[in-house]
């Protein structure tokens, strides 16, 4: 029930932001206003979530694929980190804000550069018409290291427009603050 309350709260926060970000006739959403995506990246809800994870993964010495990352989002999209990652403050980031927050701290090519990987463990996809929601259980670790640095859930809100999927928003929380991930989001039955 606590998870349902959190989901309802997140949607209450995201819905006004999404509605207020609706383009006027003069600023119609089009691929011309954004970076061009790879068609396979935006073909399905599952594909765009996979592409989002892959765009923020990098081997030591390599940079993040920010152009690919940008191509997945509506320009008005919101990214909302858990409050533990924001010093206890509720923060709403644009895709560009997220890049500015992550990129400077990557230490690319430095002596402590261990790369980064975050990947989906299990996705629960809900789709209706031109909207979709993906609850994605993820884990993160250094590039070639099996030690898990953290686990959590990314909740992706998606819309389909112009024959492709777009990320409208992502909010996330981690086990450190939210507690263990429920079995239904780990891809397990209640029995195990």
Confidence of residue 21 (pLDDT cuts 50, 70, 90): very low
Residues 117-145 pLDDT 10s: 999 999 999 999 999 999 999 999 999 99
Q: Does domain 37-105+113-178 have CATH number 3.40.1390.10?
A: no
pLDDT for res 155: 98
User: What average pLDDT score do residues 27-43 get?
Assistant: 69
H-state helical runs in 25-178: 45-55, 66-71, 95-102, 175-178
pLDDT at 189 over 50: yes
Q: What residue segments make up the domains of the chain, in order of their start?
A: 37-105+113-178
Q: Which residue has the higher pLDDT, 64 or 87?
A: 64
Report the share of the chain in percent with pLDDT over 70: 79
Q: Which residue has the higher pLDDT, 107 or 26?
A: 107
Query: Which residue reads 């990314």 in tokens?
Result: 154
- DSSP β-ladder status, 131-141 and 117-128: antiparallel
Q: Which residue has the higher pLDDT, 154 or 24?
A: 154
């Amino acid at each position: 029930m606590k998870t349902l309350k959190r989901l309802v709260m997140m949607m209450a926060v995201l819905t006004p932001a999404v509605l207020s970000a609706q383009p006027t006739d003069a600023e119609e959403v089009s691929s011309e206003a954004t970076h061009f995506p790879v068609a396979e990246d935006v073909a399905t809800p599952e594909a765009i979530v996979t592409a989002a994870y892959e765009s923020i993964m990098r081997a030591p010495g390599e940079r993040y694929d920010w152009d690919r990352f940008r191509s997945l989002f509506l320009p008005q999209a919101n990214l909302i980190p858990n409050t533990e990652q924001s010093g206890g403050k509720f923060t709403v980031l644009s895709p560009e804000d997220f890049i500015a927050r992550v990129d400077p701290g990557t230490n690319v090519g430095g002596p402590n550069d261990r790369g980064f990987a975050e990947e989906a463990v299990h996705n629960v996809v809900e789709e209706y018409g031109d909207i979709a929601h993906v609850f994605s259980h993820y884990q993160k670790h250094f590039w070639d290291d099996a030690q898990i640095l953290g686990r959590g859930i990314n909740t992706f809100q998606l819309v389909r427009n112009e024959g492709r999927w777009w990320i409208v928003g992502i909010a996330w929380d981690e086990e450190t603050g939210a507690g263990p991930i429920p079995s239904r989001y780990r891809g397990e039955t209640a029995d195990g």
